[in-house]
């Protein structure tokens, strides 16, 4: 599902066609990639770029300011990370679903000693993103082409502090990345105290969000949810951030204040998340 953004209709972007990048940087246009068509659109309101994949909005990136996150759910993930790690942390992050590496650029700017791997199934898209955008180089950020589940299953135990799942095929996350079997692999790879964060795109009935929360709850001791209050009340479709860990998330006034200071969002802690998910079945392979 495309990320929810305020006032999308007001954005005006140039759509000049192009066949590649040049010395001056990215060029607006449409580009063939391994999984279909990518469109690169200039966003003059934020001095940024929007990437769509097969018509679905995938990423937004600001070359001048890696700390600027235009998508709401990315802002929420960033605030959650800031509550758990100081800027001098040598954070080990795994991104399942690379896109334009917007969050990877943010983490690199916020945590200079971080080491990151971003996984995407589309090799051509990762090549274009490297050409277009100022991405940190290895070992700060490694781009790995492959299936997100297969890559996760290949990783060594307790080697990541933060794992972010942001994978979509059209408007849905592939089923293989939502199950308890996959979530158990994620927990195996997470170091003690690590956090697994998912971007769940759902409709107003919230059936998928409940099932995903129930699945994470069967693996992790602690859960939290961050979302637009209207989304949690079933008044619209959009994105819900769900996170699991073996340590409590805590009722942080700083997190709440920061979330209300941007796009207003609500935080649910473990008891409320488990109540929300109580009627849902755990997802299985």
Residue 284 lies in a domain: no
Q: Indicate whether 96 and 149 sit together in one domain.
A: yes
Tally of domains within the chain? 2
Q: Indicate whether 95 and 148 sit together in one domain.
A: yes
Place of tokens 């080491």: 115
Q: Indicate whether 231 and 104 sit together in one domain.
A: yes
Q: Indicate whether 143 and 263 sit together in one domain.
A: yes
CB 185 within 8 A of CB 15: no
Helix or strand (DSSP H, E) at 275 = helix 270-277
187: left (phi over 0), alpha (psi -120 to 50) or beta: alpha
Q: What is the CATH number of the domain that holds 76?
A: 3.40.50.150
CB 57 within 8 A of CB 170: no
Whole-number Å distance between alpha carbons of 129 and 207: 34
Q: Indicate whether 129 and 166 sit together in one domain.
A: yes
Q: What is the pLDDT of residues 145-183, one digit of tens each?
A: 999 999 999 999 999 999 999 999 877 899 999 999 999
Q: Of 16, 42, 61, which residue constitutes the final position of a domain?
A: 61
Whole-number Å distance between alpha carbons of 218 and 225: 15
When pLDDT is averaged across residues 56-74 and rounded to a whole number, the result is 92
Residue 67 lies in a domain: no
pLDDT of residue 257: 76
**Does residue 115 carry a pLDDT above 50?**
yes
H helical segments located in 133-179? 148-154
Q: Indicate whether 132 and 25 sit together in one domain.
A: no
Residue 127 lies in a domain: yes
3-state helix, strand, coil in the chain (%, to 5): 30, 30, 40
- Six-digit token string for 124: 């051509």
Q: What is the pLDDT of residues 178-212, one digit of tens each?
A: 999 999 999 999 999 999 999 999 999 999 999 99
Q: Indicate whether 260 and 121 sit together in one domain.
A: yes
Residue 167 lies in a domain: yes
Q: Indicate whether 248 and 148 sit together in one domain.
A: yes
CB 31 within 8 A of CB 37: yes
Place of tokens 């334009």: 100
- Six-digit token string for 21: 């990048």
157 burial (CB, 10 Å; 0-12 / 13-18 / 19+) is exposed
Residue 271 lies in a domain: yes
Closest CA to 76 of 232, 193, 211, 192: 232
Q: Indicate whether 16 and 141 sit together in one domain.
A: no
CA–CA–CA angle 179, 212, 71 (5° rounding): 115
Q: Domain containing 198: what range?
A: 72-277
Residue 111 lies in a domain: yes
Residue 52 lies in a domain: yes
**Taking the alpha carbons of 200, 202, 207, 210 in that order, is the dihedral positive or negative?**
positive
Q: Indicate whether 121 and 240 sit together in one domain.
A: yes
- Six-digit token string for 254: 């700083």
Whole-number Å distance between alpha carbons of 12 and 14: 7
pLDDT of residue 256: 73
Q: What is the pLDDT of residues 4-57, one digit of tens each?
A: 443 333 333 333 334 444 445 799 999 999 999 999 999 988 779 999 999 988
Whole-number Å distance between alpha carbons of 238 and 199: 10
């Amino acid at each position: 599902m495309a990320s929810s953004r305020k006032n999308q209709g007001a954005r005006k972007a140039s759509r000049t066609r192009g066949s590649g990048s040049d010395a001056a940087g990215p060029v607006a246009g449409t580009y063939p990639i391994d999984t279909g068509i990518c469109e690169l659109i200039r966003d003059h309101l934020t001095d940024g770029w929007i990437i769509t994949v097969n018509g679905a909005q995938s990423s937004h990136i600001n070359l001048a300011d890696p700390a600027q996150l235009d998508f709401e759910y990315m802002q929420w993930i960033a605030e959650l990370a800031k509550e758990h790690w100081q800027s001098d942390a040598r954070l080990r992050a795994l991104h399942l679903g690379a896109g334009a590496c917007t969050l990877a650029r943010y983490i690199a700017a916020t945590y200079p000693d971080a080491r990151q791997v971003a996984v995407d199934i589309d090799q051509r898209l990762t090549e274009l993103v490297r050409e277009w955008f100022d991405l940190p180089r290895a070992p700060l950020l490694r781009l790995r082409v492959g299936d997100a589940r297969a890559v996760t299953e290949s990783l060594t135990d307790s080697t990541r502090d933060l794992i972010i799942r942001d994978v979509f095929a059209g408007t849905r996350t592939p089923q293989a990345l939502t199950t308890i079997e996959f979530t158990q692999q994620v927990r195996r790879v997470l170091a003690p105290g690590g956090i697994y964060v998912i971007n769940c795109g759902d409709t107003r009935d919230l059936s998928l969000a409940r099932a995903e929360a129930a699945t994470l709850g069967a693996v992790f001791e602690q859960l939290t949810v961050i979302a637009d209050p209207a989304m949690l009340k079933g008044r619209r479709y959009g994105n819900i951030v769900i996170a699991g860990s073996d340590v409590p998330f805590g009722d942080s006034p700083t997190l709440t204040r920061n979330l209300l200071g941007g796009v207003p969002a609500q935080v649910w802690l473990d008891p409320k998340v488990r109540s929300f998910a109580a009627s849902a079945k755990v997802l299985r392979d």
